[in-house]
Amino acid sequence: GAGVSQSPSNKVTEKGKDVELRCDPISGHTALYWYRQRLGQGLEFLIYFQGNSAPDKSGLPSDRFSAERTGESVSTLTIQRTQQEDSAVYLCASSLSPRGFNEQFFGPGTRLTVL
Amino acid sequence: DQQVKQNSPSLSVQEGRISILNCDYTNSMFDYFLWYKKYPAEGPTFLISISSIKDKNEDGRFTVFLNKSAKHLSLHIVPSQPGDSAVYFCAASAGSNYKLTFGKGTLLTVNP
């Protein structure tokens, strides 16, 4: 498929465990974004990648959250020592470039449930 | 502090009638506004946008109106179709900033 893909689609974990969420952006898109949507809320910006570097990590809620991107392609968002408040849908998006307006294409999201 | 507000969590309209979705913002630095549509279990998809230098942008059945003095925008869908039933998110950005600030969304239901 040509769209943004994310895996897993659903993840249930126990409090205190680490989780890794994966995003495969559209080929050729240099910019990649992670958002989080908690129940009843809008999408919250987490982090942005331009190529493999992350110039803006301002949305990461705590140092338990980290992300990396390799090969200007796949990105992983890691949450260490998960807490119940981390339960949310984690959405990844990509765009051709972050400059000016370039439409962000979203993946279907990973629904994370922390028990 | 919510910078983009969608005060109606839901809206129900009859097929063929107009749907009007509203959005208010507080940050005067926002100069680009977007509407995204989201079906269950799918990611949001871009619908239509407007720059602050305009007050109206039209694309087929969808029109977005921007009132800068009121810091208000609205999305009009005419005529509404059952397939339009989805959650609609308003989003905004400042300058060429990639960072989108989203509202909480409005669930639109179009009844046949």
Q: Is residue A93 less than 8 Å (CB to CB) from chain B?
A: yes
State the smallest CA–CA distance between residue B39 and chain A in angstroms. 10
Cβ–Cβ of B96/A101 closer than 8 Å? Answer: yes
| Beta-strand pair B106-111/B10-14 | parallel
Look at residue A1 and tell me whether its pLDDT is greater than 70.
Answer: no
Mean pLDDT of chain A: 91
Q: Which pLDDT belongs to residue A102?
A: 67
Strands (E), chain A: 5-7, 10-13, 19-24, 31-37, 43-50, 53-56, 65-69, 75-79, 88-95, 105-106, 110-114
Look at residue A66 and tell me whether its pLDDT is greater than 90.
Answer: yes
**Interface with chain A: mutation pick from B8, B27, B98, highest number of A CBs within 10 Å:** B98
| Beta-strand pair A110-114/A10-13 | parallel
Q: What are phi and psi of A110, to 5 degrees?
A: -120, 120
Average pLDDT over residues A36-43: 90
Cβ–Cβ of A101/B4 closer than 8 Å? Answer: no
Look at residue B11 and tell me whether its pLDDT is greater than 70.
Answer: yes
Confidence of residue B41 (pLDDT cuts 50, 70, 90): confident
Quote the CA–CA distance of B68 and B64 in Å, as a whole number.
Answer: 13
Q: Which amino acid, A24?
A: D
With tokens 């051709």, the residue in question is A96
Quote the CA–CA distance of B70 and B36 in Å, as a whole number.
Answer: 22
Cβ–Cβ of B99/A99 closer than 8 Å? Answer: no
The three-class DSSP label of residue A1 is coil
Cβ–Cβ of A42/B43 closer than 8 Å? Answer: no
Cβ–Cβ of A42/B41 closer than 8 Å? Answer: no
Quote the CA–CA distance of A113 and A30 in Å, as a whole number.
Answer: 30
Look at residue A109 and tell me whether its pLDDT is greater than 80.
Answer: yes
Residues 47-66 of B with CB under 8 A from A: 49, 51
Q: Which pLDDT belongs to residue A96?
A: 85
Structure tokens that stand for A23 in this block:
């995003």
Average pLDDT over residues B5-16: 96
Look at residue A55 and tell me whether its pLDDT is greater than 90.
Answer: no
Quote the CA–CA distance of A73 and A51 in Å, as a whole number.
Answer: 8
Q: Are B9 and B107 in contact (CB under 8 A)?
A: yes
Chain A residues with CB-CB distance to B44 below 8 A: 43, 91, 106
How many CB pairs (< 8 A) connect A and B? 58
Confidence of residue B92 (pLDDT cuts 50, 70, 90): very high
Percent of chain A scoring above 90 in pLDDT: 71
Q: Which pLDDT belongs to residue B7?
A: 92
Look at residue B76 and tell me whether its pLDDT is greater than 80.
Answer: yes
Cβ–Cβ of B98/A103 closer than 8 Å? Answer: no
Q: Is residue A108 less than 8 Å (CB to CB) from chain B?
A: yes
Quote the CA–CA distance of B62 and B73 in Å, as a whole number.
Answer: 13
The three-class DSSP label of residue A52 is coil
Cβ–Cβ of B98/A106 closer than 8 Å? Answer: no
Closest to B104 (Cα-Cα) out of A91, A37, A42: A42
The H or E element spanning position B76 is strand B72-77
